[in-house]
Chain A
Amino acid sequence: MERETLEVDVLIVGGGPAGLSAALRLAQLQKAAGGEPLTVAVLEKAREAGAHMLSGAVLDPSTLIDLIPDFESRGAPLAASVHEDRVYFLTERSKIKFPFTPPPLTNHGNYIISLNKFVKWLSSLVEAEGIDLFTGFPASDVLMDGDRILGVRTGDRGIDKHGQPRPTFEAGVDIHAKVTIFADGVRGNLTKELMRRLQLGAGKEPPVFAIGIKELWEVPRDRVAAGTVIHTMGYPLKFEEFGGGFIYALPDGQIAVGFVAGLDYRDPMFDPHVAFNRFKQHPLVAGLLEGGQMVRYGAKALPEGGWYTIPRCYASGGLIVGDAAGFMNSMRLKGIHLAMRSGMLAAETAFEAIRASDTSSSRLAQFETKINDGPIRRELYAVRNVHQAFGYGLFAGLAFAGFSLLTGGWWPGQIREESGSDRMEKLSEYYGRAGRAIPAGVATAAKPDRRLTFDKLTDVHYSGTRHDEDQPVHLLVHTDVCHTICTEEYGNPCQRFCPANVYEMVGSGNDGRLLQINASNCVHCKTCDIIDPYQVITWVTPEGGGGPQYDGM
């Protein structure tokens, strides 16, 4: 097939905080240095900038100040500055307030933001610099020549569900670049492919993740003051499970309420969405939300592994930034500023390399030097073992986190990690060992009351997700394991870990139950790709423009 080819100097895959910061930094370097202008293009799979952005979010403005010193006069949408931090340990019925806020959770000087609005704003600055931002164009494949990254291929449009071209068929375009910056987000489909092909994770710990589920609510205005940040630990999670709840108060009676659960849980019957509902039913949360209305829903995985899990982020002709690489501080629950910082540093590396006409792997290795010499390592190295310590349970983790603060992260050696999909235990192991009864599947979930708690399908509606129905399923699953071994071994956990009701086992007469994939429900969170215990699910890009619509999230 004939494909169009486009040549640029720098190609940025992904229009999130990392990718857009890289684009903006390139424009700044260009202005300062003068000379032949570099051509820069940004690809974004969402229909419009920011539509797939989901975070809590509390922003540490340190990178923003460096990247856009006049961010206030340029209208940065920072919804509220944080004026109060509260941390609670929850039990089923009550709460215990921490007498002081643990230093990593102190948010003085930070802002509560809507990442969706923030990224929309960043994109407007990028476009004002004359950089092309191609929204609705997913990058489906990496183009390589041996170990050299040449660029990417964008997804084809107009393929029907049987894989045949429709009358509206348009072949994807090959975009070649001197340097491609991969900012494809948590568990990025191209970064995953690069890590496999170039073994970028060699000598590192396997990456670990969590899933964050969030709803945006509108409640009576006097309920909680804008700028209030609440974090919780404990209920509804078991001590062996990592995670917690968050409540961020925005202006105008808007509240972001969310729950993060580690995607390294052992119980195959665990359902993060059920945990989120139980969190909302806790008197602390229910009291805040009562009489309010849920207006948006979303879910997204987040990289929790920290310093030791970050892969080699450079290759010949390519750099990896942001969540794709795992630049997130799981102790401070923050990553936007690190994503932006990594984007800036990648832009500087790429700019200098192109000017020196050397974009080889050894030249782009300067990216690693910049990370090691700058604020990213300073911040992440200090908490390098904390997430791993939580692998030994909540109290071990908390104790270690405290210890870490005193010692700057020192520990004799490195705490090992196993990938989340390996940690999930079989039903017979998890329940058999303890002699517990296996709960009766999803039916154990408390029935949603449709006021405070919702079923997944209703929540999916509020994510605004939309995909053309007539296209191939974008979740590639080796379904032969589902109704044979998985039902018995794990009880088909895909039905539970997916927060968007994509996976359903449905009756089909003689064969028992078969997997049905409701791909158009997908909110692009990547959880299935991460946690599936057999690692038989691969998330690939659907047709451009498909996916959630996270207005205000």
Chain B
Amino acid sequence: MILVIAEQRAGKLNRATWEAVAAAQQLIPEADSITIVVPGSGVPSVAEELAAARVKEIVLVESAALEAYTPDAYTIALQQAIERLSPDLVVLPHTYQTRDFAPKLAARLDRPLITDVTGIKNTGQQPVFVRPMFQGKLTADVVPHGQTPHFITIQIGAFRADKAARGSSAVAVRSIKVTIEASAVREKPEAPFQEAKQAVDLSQAERIVAVGRGIKGQEHLPVARKLAEALGAELAASRPICDSGWLPMERQIGSSGQTVAPKLYLALGISGAIQHVVGMKGSRTIVAINKDADAPIFEVADYGIAGDLFEIAPAIVAELQK
């Protein structure tokens, strides 16, 4: 039996959990052999969301001490859950939180742990787990030995969340109580640390209009903004624009900004320095508008217009509005 350990924070499911479910389903096709464990306090909505999975059941591991994450409380709670459910294999998404407590949990049970698994070969008698080594320069095939359960953590993105099979109806949710002595929890969680708030996630945008030095001045930005609105696109920029503070840093594309791959990337007055190109060359269709017909951006563009963006951008907007 495989146990998948879900990850949630304040009642919000971490999407990587579905990737771990997909990995478990590849290991064992029989839905009856997979159970999803949700540690937390008062998080039935997470359990309901996961109940759509084609698995045996969802087990809520509940305790007030699990409201905020601490490695001690999680280790104690999951140790009890594992002892009660006695799985052969425990699968976790390789999140920061997993990295924090999973080694401790495996060590406490004295069981093998294989981290950052990117693939599973289950052709033979025993599944073989593939994981990167030496910063991804090599991959190793690893087979866990010794007493079960064995612990596996799944690299984020290695399995597709949308490939996790859903059942025809919601599966049962039950909860088990665990006891956690307050004195056994040695950490006091503080408010989670937030790296600079990213208001816009350009990597999710389907269309992007990006501006470069050709826009000449901040006062001309509305030209680009109107085009972005007409296309239903996000506005982004090359480095000089963000360095000048005309657009916030979070809208910078390139080696020191974000890497994007939208369906449409429209580059306005961007010369195409390699530092910018590495951040957008994966876009499906690249359209470049630039005065300089020799600009390197035209080497990566699917469609190029050599001309004045201040004439061409409004013309495109007018055409779109017809």
Measured CB to CB, the residues of A under 8 A from B are 167, 447, 450, 457-458, 460-461, 469, 506, 509, 516, 518, 520
Is there an interface contact between A461 and B275, defined as CB atoms closer than 8 Å? yes
Across the A-B interface, the 8 shortest Cβ-Cβ residue pairs: A461-B274, A457-B273, A458-B274, A469-B256, A461-B275, A167-B193, A450-B296, A520-B256
Q: Are B294 and A457 in contact (CB under 8 A)?
A: no
Set of chain A residues within 8 Å of B273, measured between Cβ atoms: 457-458, 461
* Interfacial chain B residues near A457, Cβ < 8 Å: 273-275
Given contacts A461-B274, A509-B217, 5 further A-B contacts (CB under 8 A): A447-B294, A457-B273, A461-B273, A461-B275, A516-B243
B11 shortest CB reach to chain A, Å: 25
Task: Collect the chain B residues with CB atoms within 8 Å of residue A447's CB.
Answer: 294
Interface string of B200-220 (1 = CB under 8 A from A): 000000000000000001000
Interface residues of B (CB under 8 A from A): 193, 217, 240, 243-244, 249, 255-256, 273-275, 278, 294, 296, 299
Q: For residue B249, which residues in chain A have a CB less than 8 angstroms away from its CB?
A: 469
Q: Do B193 and A461 have beta carbons less than 8 Å apart?
A: no
Give the shortest distance, in Å, between B221 (CB) and chain A (any CB).
15
Name the distance in Å between B312's Cβ and chain A's nearest Cβ: 23
* Least distance between A98 CB and chain B CB atoms (Å): 38
Report the Cα distance A164→B299, complex, angstroms.
Answer: 42
Least CB distance from B71 to A in Å reads 20
* A–B pairs, 7, beta carbons within 8 Å: A167-B193, A447-B294, A457-B273, A460-B275, A469-B249, A518-B243, A520-B256
Q: Is the CB of A461 within 8 A of B296?
A: no
Q: Which residues of A contact B274 (CB under 8 A)?
A: 457-458, 461
* A-chain residues with CB within 8 Å of residue B255 when the two chains form the complex: 461
In the complex, which residues of chain A have a beta carbon less than 8 angstroms from the beta carbon of B296? 450
| B residues less than 8 Å from A518 (CB atoms) | 243
Alpha-carbon distance A509/B249, docked complex (angstroms): 22
Which residues on the A side are within 8 Å of B240 (C-beta)?
506
Nearest CB on A from B249, distance (A): 8
The reply to whether A506 and B244 contact each other, CB–CB distance below 8 Å, is yes
Residue on A nearest B193 in the bound complex, by CB:
A167
B294: chain A residues within 8 A (beta carbon): 447
Q: Inside 8 A of A460's CB, which chain B residues have their CB?
A: 275
Complex Cα distance, B243 from A469, in Å, reads 11
| Distance in angstroms between the alpha carbons of A167 and B191 in the assembled complex | 13
Q: Closest CB of chain B to A479's CB: distance in Å? A: 15
Bound-complex Cα distance A509 to B220 (A): 13
Within the complex, the shortest CB–CB distance from B311 to chain A, in Å, comes to 22
Chain B's nearest CB lies how many Å from the CB of A165? Answer: 14
Give chain B residues whose Cβ lies under 8 Å from the Cβ of A469.
249, 256
Chain A nearest CB from B89 CB (Å) reads: 36
Instruction: Give chain B nearest CB distance to A551 CB in angstroms.
Output: 13
CA–CA, A469 and B274, complex, Å: 18
CA distance A518 to B244 in the complex (A): 11
> What's the Cα separation between A421 and B257 when bound, in Å?
36
Which A residues lie within 8 Å of B256 (CB)?
469, 520
Closest residue of A by beta carbon distance from B296: A450
- Closest approach, in angstroms, between the C-beta of B171 and any C-beta of chain A? 41
Q: Name the residue on B nearest A460 (C-beta).
A: B275
Q: In angstroms, how far is the closest chain B Cβ from the Cβ of A516? A: 7
**Which residue of chain B is the closest to A449 with respect to CB atoms?**
B294
Cα of A167 to Cα of B294 in the assembled complex, Å: 45
Q: Which residues of B contact A450 (CB under 8 A)?
A: 296, 299
Report the bound CA distance from A205 to B255 in whole Å: 43
